[in-house]
Amino acid sequence: MPPSAKDGPILRVQGVRKSFDGREILSGIDLEVMPGETMVIMGGSGSGKSTMLRCMIGSLPTTAGSIEVFGQNICGLNEEALNKVRLKFGILFQSGALFNSMTVAENVALPLQEHTRLSQEIIDIQVKIKLEQVQLREAADLYPAQISGGMKKRAGLARAMALDPQLLFCDEPSAGLDPITSAQIDRLLLDLTKKLGIACVVVTHEMDSAFAIADRMAMLDKGRMLAVEPKAWFERVRDVPDAEVKLLSEDEQIIHQFLRGAAEGPLSERQSESDWEQDILGARPRVPGVRSVEASRIVPKTEDESVLTRLRRILRA
């Protein structure tokens, strides 16, 4: 029986902190994911999404807090125990992370060969089923270098699902793809996880993708969770007219600006206050802030205004 809501969360993150060289990147994160639900973790680049994902899959030790996967706290587990837990979830890496020297079919077969005692004949059938599920059977004998970016993602997804996980982690599933291919990957992810009842934790900065696949969403900003709410809540915040934004709380205003990919708002003020000089002089690459956020395909960008704001600031200085 696959786990259901009455079994409690499939993933429970409590008070997780993570520092690198004394610099805190995650400042006490709480998050619960229920069986079968898709949780999208959003945030601008540098907000800590990948760090959080790496903590959740046990590839990065946390500084404090606990992460329970299928009821088991993975913090402090040794590599052998971790590998046992890892068999129960799938991971779709940003680039697909396929082995270039193996065909698509061989890549998908790998987890089955390493972690099951199935005969090669059964494995071949399983691989065909997985490739069919991601609509990639015709590419079974091709090498990663011979297929497109979207096909690599699908092959990565087939491999992540090889051991029939109940939980799937995805890092930026549509990154680097054109809008149509990325919408197709979103649709595939949604179809598969819903059909098979798989819980899915997706990290992304792409708003269209986030709204397409999420049941609930979590907004990460500078290592802090601003909100964990159903998708409809985020839609309501996004759709608040600019004239009424001042009625929102401070965190909601940040979320509003992020969701609309707007150039004006608390995110950019914060950025220009701390970074404007380096920004203008190009002394270092931009890190967090709205400029790193990909604007939604439906909201027009207002780049010029933010340049103006910055210029005014320089003139005042």
User: Position of tokens 């008070």?
Assistant: 15
- Is 173 one of the binding residues for ligand ADP (CB under 6 A)? no
- Is 47 one of the binding residues for Mg ion (CB under 5 A)? no
| Secondary structure of residue 89 in the 3-state scheme | strand
- Is 289 one of the binding residues for ligand ADP (CB under 6 A)? no
Backbone φ, ψ for residue 40 (5° rounding): -105, 125
User: Position of tokens 């680039």?
Assistant: 95
- Is 20 one of the binding residues for ligand ADP (CB under 6 A)? yes
Q: Give the footprint of ligand ADP on residues 184-213 (CB under 6 A).
A: none
- Is 50 one of the binding residues for ligand ADP (CB under 6 A)? yes
Distance CA 263, CA 315 (A): 20
Task: Compare residues 82 and 287 and give the one whose CB is closer to ligand ADP.
Answer: 287
The only residue of 11, 13, 37, 47 in contact with ligand ADP, by rule CB under 6 A = 47
Question: Shortest approach of Mg ion to residue 172 CB, angstroms?
Answer: 6
The only residue of 50, 107, 126, 268 in contact with Mg ion, by rule CB under 5 A = 50
Distance CA 82, CA 76 (A): 9
The only residue of 51, 62, 107, 209 in contact with ligand ADP, by rule CB under 6 A = 51
Question: Shortest approach of ligand ADP to residue 291 CB, angstroms?
Answer: 13
- All residues at 6 or more sequence positions from 219 whose CB lies less than 8 Å from its CB, including other chains: 42, 43, 225, 226, 227, 228, 234, 254, 255, 258
Give the H or E element holding residue 128.
helix 120-133
Structure tokens belonging to residue 97: 């992370």
Question: Shortest approach of Mg ion to residue 49 CB, angstroms?
Answer: 5
Binding site for Mg ion (CB under 5 A): 49-50
